[in-house]
Amino acid sequence: MMQMRKMKKTVVVSFEDQTIRVIYAFPKKGGHTVRDVMTLNDAQFGEFLRSEKTKEFIVVSNFSETYQETITVPVVKKKYLEKIIEIEIHKKCHFEDFSYLYHLSEEKIIENRKTFEVFVFAVRNNEVMNLISRFTDMGKRVSAVYPDVFTLARMTRTDGKYGLCVSGFGDNKNLFLVRDGKIVLIRKANSPEADMTDYDMRNIEMTVNYCRQTLRITPACVILTGSLSANYNVSVNTSLPVICLVPPPGIHMDNRTILEYMTAVSALCADKSCDIAPRNYKDLTFTMEILRYSTATFLYLIILSVIYTAFVVKATLPIREEFQNSVKDLPDLDRVFSSYESESSRFSEYGSLIASFESSMETPDFLDLLKAFTQIKENRMRVDSIEISANDGVLLCKIEGSAVTENYAEAGSAYEKFMGSLADIQGLSVTKNLFELKDKKIFVEAEYR
């Protein structure tokens, strides 16, 4: 089934200002071959979806309103990192509901503390879902939504050096600093023309100076993407060499159209880390995919079960006849069952007393449990309350507390050590634990036998 999926064509739809570009790519050993392309306007797109037989699409878009920033976060485990990044975006970004991507820099020491510098890119969920709805309203599926700067960055190869990429459609151009496919900075610049002009080059020079003076980074070159390479009308001298972005060797298509469809082609180089579709939509898509395969598997199993049942029934007919003949020779079973029920009713009145006695004998002493709690050595985790109750020979305990730390990283470390101390208590098994990183609160339910 998965092999058949891989052989299917990939259809990419790129929204570029007032123009929509579509490519049809087919898998080839080591890459893709782009065989068909088309250009549409917004009015033609609805009719295209109605007539197109393909059910699943990859979408690339130049979003109208975005938030991008470089933030500093403490060095923590990955399961806490994304939550901290989301909290930081909420503090600085005015978007109420958003999806985001991020690129992590190398670990740095700032004020004697280990930190990460993280480039974050966020868009409103409303804008992303409006884009997806254009497909779902026509009965289509969107497998991924990529911001164009991230797919173009993935296509860029700089051999460990920094490159300043330039992309754009119409009067807007994006300047983004890239190294090894990861974005460090994005700047939007207005432009009087769609072509590359002296005005655009002055914007590029100002961005290069900002990188040198503020970021302490010197780009090695300026990289033009798409049609900007063909429409290069610059007469001023540049401080950096200017080169054109070309697809990697694994992507094959007609050289006459490759620049015009560069943004759409770049989606073939992207992966899940570039997908900015809202989390709820991804979860729904994943669930529908599971249901689709589960339904097919279930129907297949039903057919096998019907065939197998027919064989079993045919094979058991002689055994059934032999069993029926044997039953005729058995004694009166009704009289045996009646005697058994009469004897059982005599002892039923003692059942609750026996059960109560056995429960009291099996339930462990709660003083032993309290004594065991004194072995916990993590003093940065304050226990606010402990609730203990007995149920069917087991002591049920609920523990509430909070981390007494200065930052999230220390809170995470204290939580891990506290849970490790609980695991060392013999006879105690944790059934539920919840750690709210933002409030540093902990809630634990456990059983003691």
Per-residue pLDDT tens over the stretch 347-403:
666 666 666 655 555 667 777 777 777 777 667 888 888 888 877 778 888 888 888
Reported as a single tens digit per residue, the pLDDT across 54-65 is 999 999 999 989
Q: What are phi and psi of 268, to 5 degrees?
A: -70, -15
Q: Cα(355)–Cα(145) distance, rounded to whole angstroms? A: 61
* CA 407 remoteness from chain centre: 26
What pLDDT shows up at residue 17? 84
Residue 109 has pLDDT above 70, yes or no: yes
Q: What is the structure's pLDDT at 77? A: 85
Question: Dihedral angle at the C-alpha atoms of 346, 348, 350, 352, nearest 10 degrees?
Answer: -170
Average pLDDT over residues 308-320: 80
Residues 6+ apart with CB under 8 A from 352: none
pLDDT of 336 higher than 50: yes
What is the sign of the dihedral through the CA atoms of 69, 74, 79 and 83? negative
Q: Please state, as a whole number, how many other Cβ atoms lie within 10 Å of the Cβ of residue 279.
A: 9
The pLDDT of residue 281 is above 80? yes
Q: What is the mean pLDDT of residues 140-146?
A: 95
Q: How far is it, in rounded angstroms, from Cα 119 to Cα 162?
A: 15
In this model, does residue 338 exceed pLDDT 80?
no
Spatial distance between the Cα atoms of 47 and 134, rounded to a whole number of angstroms: 11
CATH code assigned to 363-448 = 3.30.70.60
Q: Is the pLDDT at 269 greater than 90, yes or no?
A: yes
> Can you give the residue ranges of every domain in the chain?
363-448
Name which of 203, 134, 123 is nearest 168 in CA terms. 203
pLDDT digit string (tens) for 7-24? 578 999 999 988 999 999
Find residue 116's DSSP bridge partners.
Answer: 73, 107
Residue 393 has a CB neighbour count (10 Å cut-off) of 13
Q: What is the pLDDT of residue 408?
A: 79
How far apart are the C-alpha atoms of 132 and 360, rounded to whole Å? Answer: 61
What amino acid occupies position 280?
N
The two tokens of residue 16 are: 């570029």
**Residue 46, pLDDT score:** 93
Does position 342 have pLDDT exceeding 50, yes or no?
yes
Rounded to the nearest angstrom, the gap between the alpha carbon of residue 297 and the centroid of all alpha carbons in its chain is 26
Q: Which residues contact 197 (CB under 8 A, 6 or more apart)?
A: 191, 233, 234
Whether residue 169 contacts residue 140, with contact meaning beta carbons closer than 8 Å, is answered with no
Q: Average model confidence (pLDDT) for the chain?
A: 86
Average pLDDT estimate for 133-142: 95
Task: Return the half-sphere exposure (C-beta side, CA atoms, 13 A cut-off) of residue 79.
Answer: 6
Q: How confident is the model at residue 3 (pLDDT cuts 50, 70, 90)?
A: very low
325 or 254, which is more confident: 254
Q: Nearest-CA neighbor of 428 among 390, 395, 404?
A: 395
pLDDT at 446 over 80: yes
